[in-house]
């Protein structure tokens, strides 16, 4: 079970979410199929005075941590200044219970293995997700892209308790 983050770890998580929002802030409306568009409302929206960003599409991811497996479905993969996978709904402008989401971003341009900070710090690899209403950020991230950047694996350690996290993703 995850421990409650300390003040420093909460600050790190907040900074991580801000960075991720900047990294994954593209519009996904054009990438969804008609059936996905009917079932999922992509884009920015507010509810209860809070700002959210929802991603819809065929991407999926699985996270393995502390003997648990967490599945994420119906998101997007995209490439602009970095390769990105975004699934679920990000809570952007408030605090409180966090909706389910998975975000992976890596400054990569081809299949291969990328470690956060490699090549003199030019490679950035970031993984974050939420489970049971709590956000989790990682460090020491390694991302491997395969299949012409359509699938891959990742690993890292949780910020709050240093547990190892592994997983995979598919863009379909």
Each residue's pLDDT expressed in tens, for the chain with a length of 172 residues = 334 445 444 434 443 443 444 444 433 333 333 344 456 889 998 888 889 899 999 999 999 999 999 999 999 999 888 899 999 998 887 677 788 999 999 999 899 999 988 888 788 999 999 998 899 999 999 999 999 999 999 999 999 999 999 999 999 8
Token pair, residue 119, equals 């090549």
pLDDT of residue 23: 42
Stated as kind and residue range, the H or E segment containing 103 is strand 101-106
Contacts of 157 (CB under 8 A, 6+ apart): 138, 139, 140, 163, 164, 165
Interatomic CA distance for residues 72 and 63, integer angstroms: 8
Tokens (6 digits) for 13: 């998580």
Neighbouring C-beta atoms of residue 139, cutoff 10 Å: 16
Q: Containing H/E element for 94?
A: none
Q: How far apart are CA 4 and CA 142, in angstroms?
A: 25
- Token pair, residue 51, equals 């700002």
Nearest to 21 by CA among 92, 78, 82, 89: 92
* Buried b / exposed e along 115-132 (16+ C-beta atoms within 10 A): ebeeeeeebbbbbbbbbe
| Exposure b/e, 32-70, CB count within 10 A at least 16 = b | beeebeeebebeeeeeeeeebbbbbbbbbbbbebeeeeb
Secondary structure of 133-170 in HEC code, one letter for each residue: CEEEEEEEEEEEEECCCCEEEEEEEECCCCCEEEEEEE
């Amino acid at each position: 079970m995850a421990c409650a983050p300390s003040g420093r770890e909460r600050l790190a998580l907040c900074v991580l979410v801000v960075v991720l929002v900047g990294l994954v802030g593209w519009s996904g409306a054009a990438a969804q199929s008609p059936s996905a568009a009917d079932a999922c409302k992509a884009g920015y929206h507010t509810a209860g005075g809070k700002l959210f960003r929802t991603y819809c599409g065929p991407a999926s991811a699985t996270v393995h941590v502390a003997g648990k497996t967490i599945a994420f479905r119906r998101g997007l993969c995209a490439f602009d200044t970095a390769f990105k996978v975004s699934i679920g709904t990000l809570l952007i402008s408030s605090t409180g219970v966090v909706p389910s989401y998975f975000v992976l971003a890596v400054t990569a341009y081809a299949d291969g293995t990328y470690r956060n900070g490699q090549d003199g710090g030019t490679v950035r690899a970031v993984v974050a997700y939420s489970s049971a209403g709590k956000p989790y950020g990682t460090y020491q991230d390694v991302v491997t892209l395969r299949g012409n950047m359509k699938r891959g694996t990742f690993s890292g350690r949780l910020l709050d308790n240093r547990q190892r996290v592994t997983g995979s993703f598919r863009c379909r």
